[in-house]
Amino acid sequence: MDHRPGNSQRIKEEAQRLGFLACGISAAAFLEEEAPRLEQWLSANYNGEMAYMANHFDMRLDPTKLVDGAKSVVTVLLNYFPSVAQKDPCAPKISKYAYGQDYHHVIKGKLRQLTEFIEAEIGVVNGRAFVDSAPVMDKAWAVRSGLGWMGKHTNIIRQREGSFFFIGELILDMELEPDRPMQDHCGTCTRCIDACPTGAIIKPYLVDGSKCISYFTIELKDAIPVEMKGQFDNWTFGCDICQDVCPWNRFAKPHTEPAFDPHSDLPDMTARDWHELTEEVFMKVFQRSAVKRAKFAGLKRNLLFLNERWP
């Protein structure tokens, strides 16, 4: 007897119980449409100094190279839209995804629990969990799994929730009933393209990563180019502009994951607090945050770059 439809539904229900916003399934097939796009993107050097983006090209496109005998990709979304924001409008800004604990650890833990459920309730499975730290094209799998459509800013969008969520995957050697992709609902809107201060969104659905504020403030290890002065709109770690202006994010609802709540001091930090930031305060406020990726020296570099905007 074929139990695939029932198994798929049980996995989705458990994912919801674990706190995921949504869960979708797709067949673990070679990403034919994405292959030429990725090759062209890399050839244009849109990855900048993110050399790792060019590594393991075949693995990014073929899940069977990551998990032997892979048959299904289970993709999950986890909401991170905060209920509180930074209060001082003059303070340097950090991306909402970095307010709380590093999402890699949070999602990996939940995916581990989901895998344990599958093995206990459905059957022995060979698989791996992925959260933005391995050669997996998570946005492509989210689209294929029917969890949303890729917006013109290349983030995944859902009609009822917007785009402020993380993506994770389980690649399994278990055959499951796949979902159907969702229709694109961006229409003629170009707000994200028009709002990007550095012109990183070259055209709909194409982003030059080497021009993105997130790239300059997180990925770039050298000095930020002088010609970028005055273009960061006070962002010091990451950037949410293209998502903040998206009409679909008027439907975003605060997350219910305590791990993503910010340190109590963060919302109240003034421009002067940021200006006078010490390594001790940095370690206290961002001890478990993704901001630690930039390290104290990197964050100070970003703050100095924005120095002229402080009162």
Catalytic residues, by residue number, are 132
Place of tokens 């991306």: 95
Whether 125 contacts 182, CB under 8 Å: no
Round to the nearest angstrom and report the end-to-end CA distance of the chain: 70
Distances (CA, A) of 168 to 83, 110, 131, 147, 224: 22, 10, 5, 12, 31
Distances (CA, A) of 87 to 202, 265, 267, 268: 32, 11, 6, 6
Radius of gyration of the chain (CA): 20
User: Alpha carbon 73 to chain centroid distance?
Assistant: 18
Place of tokens 């990725």: 38
The phi-psi region of residue 123 (left if phi > 0; otherwise alpha if psi is between -120 and 50; otherwise beta) is: left
66 closest CA partner among 115, 139, 138, 130: 130
* In the chain, beta strands by DSSP E: 22-27, 72-79, 93-94, 127-130, 149-150, 156-157, 165-172, 201-203, 206-207, 235-237
Tokens standing for residue 14: 């458990």
Report the alpha-carbon distance of residue 236 to residue 88 in Å, rounded: 14
Tokens standing for residue 286: 């961002």
Dihedral sign for Cα 145, 149, 154, 160, please.
negative
